Structure 1
Amino acid sequence: DIFSTAIKAYRVEIIEPGRVMRFIMPADNLFEPNSERLKVSQLGFLDRLIGSLSARPAGHRFDMQFVMGFGDQVSGLGPISETVEMARAASFIRNMLARGAPSDSIAMGMQRGDPQTINMWFYINLSEQRTKFHNRLQSVQNIEY
Structure 2
Amino acid sequence: MAENSVFVETQMLIRKPVLEVFNAFLDPDITKNFWFTRGSEKLSVGKTIIWEWEMYNVSTTVKVIEIIPAEKISVEWNEPPTKIDFGFRSLEGGSTYVTLRNYGFTETGDNLLKMLIDLTGGFTTVLDGAKAFLEHGINLNLIADKFPKEVIKHGN
Query: Under a length normalisation based on structure 1, what TM-score does the superposition of the two structures give?
Result: 0.31
Q: TM-score, normalised by structure 2?
A: 0.29
Structure with the larger RCO, 1 or 2 (CA within 8 Å, 6+ apart):
1
Structure holding more strand per residue: 2
For the pair shown, the structure with the greater C-alpha radius of gyration is 1
